[in-house]
Chain A
Amino acid sequence: MWPVEDVPDGDKVFMRVHFRWVDGGKLAPGCFRDQGGGMSTDWERYSTPEQTQGRATTPADNGIISLSVGGIRKIPNLTVEHTPEDDNRAHTDVFGDKKRNPEVRMKLHRLANWVIPCRTVD
Chain B
Amino acid sequence: MSRTARVPEAYVPAVYLQTQHPESWIDRKRKRPQQSLRVPHKLPNFGPLLGEQAVFGFVWTEPKPITKAIEDSRKILELQDNWDDEGAKAYKKETWDRAVEVVRRSCEEMWENFVTTMPAPRILAGPDGTIDLHWKTAKFELLVNIPEDPTDPITYYGDDYGMNTAKGTIDPNRPSHILLCWLNEHK
Contact = CB atoms under 8 A, between A and B. Distances in A.
Given A102-B157, A103-B167, A30 B132 contact: yes
Contact of A23 (B83, B124, B156): B124
Contacts of A12: none
Interface string B75-105: 0000100011111100000000000000000
Interface residues of A, number: 26
B85 A102 contact: no
Contacts of A101: 155, 157
A61 interface: yes
Contact of A30 (B125, B147, B155): B125
Contacts, number: 73
Given A61-B85, A101-B155, A106 B125 contact: no
A108 to B, nearest CB: 11
Interface in A89-119: 98-103, 105-106
Contacts of A99: 126-128, 130, 145
Contact of A106 (B83, B122, B143): B143
Interface in B136-162: 141, 143-145, 147, 155-157
Contacts of A18: 83-86, 88
Contacts of A28: 122, 124-126, 132, 134
Interface of A: 16, 18, 20-21, 23-24, 26, 28-30, 32-35, 56-58, 61, 98-103, 105-106
The 5 closest A-B pairs by CB, nearest first: A33-B127, A18-B84, A103-B157, A102-B143, A30-B126
